[in-house]
Amino acid sequence: MRGSHLSRTRTLTTVLALALSGTAVLTGCGEKQQTVGSAPPPKKPDAFEQRADQIVRHWPKVSPVTGRQQAILPLADAELPKKTDAREITVTVGHSACDVRFGARSHESKELVVITGWGKRKSSKGMCTEQLATDKVKVQLKTALGDRKVVDAATGKELFKN
């Protein structure tokens, strides 16, 4: 019986020691409030952003896009800016006559400016004659064109030599 009494005392002493050390460790924990903001989930790159990244990584060995994608329409033409410090390029977008909206967008890297046309159809239902319509669109660049090459995202080809 003697051993069990000492055993209980040791157990109690150990438990109290652990409780006190735990209290000492946790003292001050939670005193400062930390504000954590909510951020939107990472945006998944769309078809054009994926294609532009591919062109930048593999330039000049790039093959054309197959099939029509509304996010990547070929350009019918582009006008070479008169100055290298230009921050605007005019392109001719070939889009469907059934597109309710259309335009062009760019992706810029240190060596390339990748441009594509895009179109938004009225509805996927109903009949469309698939006639090609062309319209000029101005694309604003974040930085001056300089000596960067301008590439059509749909074809993977350089639009003009500057």
* Digit-coded pLDDT (tens) for 98-139: 878 889 999 999 999 999 998 887 766 767 777 888 889 999
Q: Where are the beta strands (DSSP E) in 36-98?
A: 75-79, 88-96
The structure's pTM equals: 0.67
3-state secondary structure of 54: helix
How far is 84 from 45, CA to CA, in rounded Å? Answer: 30
How far is 91 from 75, CA to CA, in rounded Å? Answer: 7
Structure tokens at 121: 């159809």
Cβ neighbors of 39 (< 8 A, separation 6 or more) are: none
Q: How high is the pLDDT of residue 11?
A: 77
